């Protein structure tokens, strides 16, 4: 995908994954720290059993929750989700249980002068409403994608399939982040056969906290350089 196409998008990224629980939330916090970016998760499910990714990212970045006080240094903040759902299911399924009508086509990016990291829910083909999958939301929001993948066995297949799906929909791919024990072989295969770059290989954290996020953020290339290359 050409740099020209990437430059036409809003200055930010849409973070998605090859699957659920591949580390999108922690990676989103790392990217937000590295780039001084705002964070936004439009569709949050699972609040009946967990506090939610917005709260997690706010804590890791040392930022107030939406409506909870002044923004961070330079104006960085976390934005409130467009929709909050209780069940730990895809938005489409959770909304049906809670009699909530979702329409992803009405979702709009929050207004900000900062770069923006948007986190999707689950993988690309997680349904949001009766007509829309997460990949359709990526198209709608017109942001280049950072794809988070496991670094371990099986990741080549899952990652290449996800890259092909994104490109079939015309979504620009900024790159892949491999999460887990470093694997030079998997990294090489994804870059070669996926025709994309691996932005970073993030080793497992002994403890997920602000300090470890800061350390990982120091390994991430600058956003403007990635958009321009």
CA dist 226 and 1 (Å) reads 12
Q: Please enumerate in sequence order all residues whose Cβ is within 8 A of that of 52, keeping only pairs 6 or more positions apart, or say none.
A: 41, 44, 46, 81, 84
**Within 13 Å of residue 4, how many CA atoms lie on the same side as its CB?**
0
CA dist 186 and 173 (Å) reads 18
Annotated catalytic, 215? Answer: no
**Within 13 Å of residue 199, how many CA atoms lie on the same side as its CB?**
29
Which residue of the set 7, 24, 41, 215 is catalytic?
41
Question: Sign of torsion, CA 9 14 16 22?
Answer: positive
Which residues are part of the catalytic machinery? Answer: 41
């Amino acid at each position: 995908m050409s740099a020209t196409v990437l430059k036409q998008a809003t200055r930010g990224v849409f973070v998605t994954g090859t699957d659920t629980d591949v580390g999108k939330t922690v990676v989103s916090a790392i990217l937000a720290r590295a780039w001084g970016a705002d964070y936004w998760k439009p569709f949050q499910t699972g609040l009946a059993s967990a506090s939610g990714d917005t709260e997690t990212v706010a804590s890791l970045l040392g930022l107030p929750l939406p409506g909870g006080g002044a923004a961070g240094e330079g104006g960085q903040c976390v934005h409130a989700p467009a929709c909050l759902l209780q069940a730990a299911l895809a938005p489409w399924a959770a909304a049906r249980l809670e009699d909530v009508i979702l329409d992803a086509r009405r979702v709009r990016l929050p207004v900000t002068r900062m770069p923006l990291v948007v986190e999707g829910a689950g993988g690309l083909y997680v349904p949001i409403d009766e007509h829309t999958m997460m990949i359709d939301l990526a198209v709608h929001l017109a942001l280049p994608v950072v794809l988070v993948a496991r670094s371990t066995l099986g990741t080549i297949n899952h990652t290449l399939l996800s890259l092909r799906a994104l490109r079939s929909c015309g979504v620009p791919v900024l790159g892949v982040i491999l999460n887990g024990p470093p694997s030079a072989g998997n990294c090489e295969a994804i870059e070669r056969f996926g025709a994309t770059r691996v932005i970073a290989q993030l080793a497992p954290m002994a403890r997920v906290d602000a300090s470890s996020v800061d350390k990982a953020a120091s390994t991430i290339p600058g956003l403007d350089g990635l958009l321009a290359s």
